[in-house]
Amino acid sequence: MRLMRLANVNTVSIGIFSWAELEPSEGFYTFDWLDRVFEKLAANGRRIILATPSGGKPNWLAARYPEVRRVNEQGMREPQRGRHNHCITSPIYRKKITEINTLLAQRYGAHPALLLWHIGNEFTGYCYCDLCMAAFRLWLRNKYGTLEKLNHAWWATFWSHRFTSWDQVNCIDPNIHGMILDWRRFMTSQVIDFIAVECEPLRRHAPHIPATTNFIGLIDFDEAYDYSKIAQSMDIASWDSYPFWHNRSPSEGGDASVACDTAFVHDLTRAMKPDRSWLLMETTPSAQNWTPVSRLRRPGMLRLNGLQAVAHGSDSVLYFQWRKSRGGCEKFHGAVVDHAGHEHTRVFQDVTALGAELGKLSSVAGSLIRPRAAVIYDWENRWAIDAALGPRNVNKDYLPTCRAHYREFWRRGVAVDVISSIANLEPYRIVVAPMLYMLRPGVAENIARFVNAGGTFVATYMTGIADENDLCFLGGFPGPLKEVLGIWVEETDVLNDFDRQTVVAGENALELGLSGHYAAQHYVDLLHLRGSEALAYYSDEFVAGRPAVTRNRYGGGIAYYVASRNDAHFLSDFLGGVIREAGIKSAAGLPAFHPLPHGLSMQVRTDGKTDTLFVMNFSDVERQAPIGKGFLNVNGETVPEVVKISGYTTCIFFRTGDTV
Ligand code: GAL
C-alpha cells in the first residue's frame, strides 16, 4: 500500500486468475483474503476493478468435470494446463462461474471501492467438443430454419456435401466456406452468450457497476472472435496493449511503425463505443517476456506509451503487473515493483511520474475524439479472405493493407476511426475500405448512401467479390458496388512476389497529387469504366493502357477505386490528395496534405470547450511539429506555431474558444 501510494496508483484490477484461491475445493469458498485486499485498498483511497475468475480454471474443476476442458480441432480433449481454455458452452462451467460470480457480486457489489467488473480475461480460442457442436447445430437451425437454406448458403451440392439431417453437421470443413464463416460467427455469439451468463448475477446484485472484458487486440492467431460485436454486449471497451517497442529496424519503420500499429488498435477499440472513453486495461511498464527479444523501454517510452493510449481516447493507463512474480512463466515480465521489492528503480520512478501527470490531466477524462475519416477493418471480411483459395494464396495481407491505409492518416495527424463494415458511416467525410471482399447485407447500400450524401469512398482490388456466405456475386465485380464505383472488374491478375506492374498517373490526376510512375505488386485488376474516369493506367505487359485508378462522381460525393496493390509512395500521394480534397484537417486544425516529420503523431481530445492536443514523437531525435495558433502549454503560456519535440516525448497543449 505504501508503494502504491508512492507510485500514484489510484486503480487496481484484482482477482483475474484467482478461482483456485477463492474456491480451493468445490463449494468451499475463501473470501477472507480478498476482503482484506478490498479493505486495504479502500482504506488507502484506491478504486477496484474486480475480475470474475473464469480466465483460468482450478485443477479440481478440470479433473472432476472433463467437459470444461476444450476439445481441439482433431477431437482430442486438452489436458488441464495454461489458461483461457475453458469450454464456453459447458453447462457445468457456466453453472460454476454463475455460483462464484453470484457470491462475488453479493459480497463486493455494494462496496464503495468497486469501480468496474472485469469479465474473464482475453477471450480467445475455439472448442470443438460435442457440446459446442450441438450448440452450433441449434444456432444454425435458428439461423436458417431449413436444411435447404443451409445447403444453399454453404453451396453444399459441391463435392456431394449436401446435408440431409442437422446431425450431419459435425465437423469443420475448410472446403465449405459458408460453414467456416458460420462457425466463427457462432463462436463469437457463444462468447457473447457466455459473457451474458457471467454478467447476469453481477447485474442482478450490482446493477450500478459497469462491466468490461479486456480484448487481446489483433495478434495474429486463427481462432479469433469478432471483438467489435462482443464489445456491444459490454458497457466499456478495453484492451491489453503490448507494443513491441524497440524491436523494429529502421528499414521497417522503427518505433514509428510500432506506434502506428498500436494506434490502429487504440482507434479500433475506441470506435467500438464511439460515445465514451475506453480503457487501456493492461500494458507493461517495462519489457514483455514473451516477445522474441524483449527490450527495455528507453527513457521516455513508458510515458509516451501511456499517453498515446490517452491521446487516442483511453481514460486509463493500467499496468500488467503490479509486482513481478517470483515463479512461473511470467517471472521475467515487466512490473511496477521488481523482484528487488522497493521503489528505487527506474521503472517505478517512471510510473510514479506518469501517475502524477495523469492526476493533473483528470479534466481530459471523458472527453472524446470525433474523427471525420474511417478505415474499415472487418473481422468477418478477414475470415472470408483467409478462407478463400485464390486468386492469391500467399501474402494476401488484409490486416497489413488496412494498416498501410490507416498509416497515411496517422502520420498526418488526422484522427481516424477503425470500424467494421456494418458501422454507421454518417459521421465521416472519408471512408477507406481496403480489400472489402465480403459485402454483408446492407453494406453496399450504406456505402452508396454515404457517397450520395457527399462522402468520399475509397475501395481497392479484392472488393465486392462475395456475399455474407462467401457466395460470389453474379453479374460482375465489385458486385453491388459496381454502380457507386462506376466500374466492372472483369479479371484479376495476381503477380509473383518478384513481379511488378507500373502505374502511370494521368494528367487529370495531377490536381489530386498523383504524378509520374508507381510500382504495383500482388494484385492487378483488369477493369472497364462504367461511368467513372481513369486517373492512372498500367504501362506494362498485356494490361498496358488499362485503367489502374478510377474516380466516380456519384450523387454529391466521390468513389475511388484503386485497382492494384501500389507502393507506399502511391498511397501517400493518393490519400494525401483525398484528405486535402475532403478538407480534413490535422488534430491541430491545420491542412493535412503533407505527412508530419517521421515518428511524429498528433491526436486531439475535446469536451466541446477545451481541446487537448497530444503531440508525440516516436523517434529518438528532436522533431518540429506544426500546431498553428492558439495553443497554451500546461502553465498557460502561449506556445509557438511550430514546436520542438524531443525524441521519445509527448507534449500536451490546450486550446479553448478564448485562446483561438
Ligand atoms: C496478457 C494477460 C496478462 C499477462 C500479460 C503478459 O495477455 O492478460 O495476464 O499474461 O498478457 O504480457
Domain boundaries, the chain: 373-582, 600-656
Tell me the C-alpha distance between 228 and 190, whole Å: 14
Pocket test for ligand 1, best of 282, 325, 330 (most atoms within 8 A of CB): 282
| Residue having the nearest C-alpha atom to atom 3 of ligand 1 | 320
* Residue 123 CB–ligand 1 contact under 6 Å: no
242 lines ligand 1 (CB under 6 A): yes
Residue type, 507: E
Judge if the beta carbon of residue 333 lies within 6 A of ligand 1.
yes
d(CA 211, CA 117): 4
pTM of the predicted model as reported, rounded to 2 decimal places = 0.97
**pLDDT score recorded for residue 484:** 98
> What are the b/e assignments for 386-420, b being 16+ CB within 10 Å?
ebbeeebeeebbbbebbbbbbbbbbbbbbbbbbbb
Nearest protein Cα to ligand 1, atom 10: 330
Distance 290 CA to ligand 1 centre (A): 10
Count each helix (H run) and each strand (E run) in the chain, helices first.
17, 23
pLDDT exceeds cutoff 50 at 199: yes
* Whether the CB of 288 sits within 6 Å of ligand 1: yes
What's the 396 CA to ligand 1 centre distance in angstroms? 29
Q: Which residue of 83, 216, 240 sits with most ligand 1 atoms within 8 Å of its CB, as the best mutation to test the pocket?
A: 240
Confirm or reject: Cβ of 240 under 6 Å from ligand 1. yes
Topology, domain 373-582 = Rossmann fold (3.40.50)
| Average pLDDT estimate for 313-335 | 97
* pLDDT recorded at residue 222: 72
On whether the CB atoms of residues 380 and 483 are closer than 8 A, the answer is no
Residue 135's region, left for phi above 0, alpha for psi from -120 to 50, else beta, is alpha
483 annotated active-site:
no
For ligand 1, atom 4, the nearest C-alpha belongs to 320
Atom of ligand 1 nearest to the CA of 242: 12
Cell 467456416, residue?
180
Q: Do domains 373-582 and 600-656 have the same CATH topology?
A: no
Residue 659: pLDDT band with limits 50, 70, 90: very low
Model confidence at 223, in pLDDT bands (50, 70, 90)? Answer: confident
Q: Which atom of ligand 1 is nearest to the CA of 214?
A: 8
Atom of ligand 1 nearest to the CA of 16: 9
121 alpha carbon to ligand 1 midpoint, in Å?
Answer: 9
Using the mean position of ligand 1's atoms as its centre, give its distance from the Cα of residue 423 in Å: 30
Whole-angstrom distance, CA of residue 398 vs CA of residue 544: 26
> Which residue's CA is the nearest one to ligand 1's atom 1?
240
Does the CA dihedral 169-175-176-179 come out positive or negative?
positive
Contacts 24+ apart (CB under 8 A), 473-479: 473/439, 478/561, 479/439, 479/444
CA 321 to ligand 1 centroid distance, Å: 8
pLDDT at 220 over 90: no
| Of 238, 239, 284, 330, best ligand 1 pocket probe by most atoms within 8 Å of the beta carbon | 330
pLDDT tens by residue, 582-613: 999 999 999 998 999 999 999 999 999 999 99
- What is the CA(242)–ligand 1 centre distance, in A? 9
Q: Is 511 a catalytic residue?
A: no
Give per-residue pLDDT as tens, 43-102.
999 999 999 999 999 999 999 999 999 999 999 999 999 999 999 999 999 999 999 999
Q: What mean pLDDT, rounded, does the chain reach?
A: 96
pLDDT in tens, 339-372: 999 999 999 999 999 999 999 999 999 999 999 9
Instruction: Read off the pLDDT of each residue in 241-267 and give the average, rounded to a whole number.
Output: 96
Question: Which residue is catalytic, options 23, 67, 198, 282?
Answer: 282
CA of 320 to the centre of ligand 1 (A): 7
Residue closest via CA to ligand 1's atom 12 equals 288
Homologous superfamily of 600-656 in CATH? Golgi alpha-mannosidase II (2.60.40.1180)
Residue 658 has pLDDT above 70, yes or no: no
C-alpha of residue 333 to centroid of ligand 1, in Å = 9
Instruction: Give yes or no for residue 121 CB within 6 A of ligand 1.
Output: yes
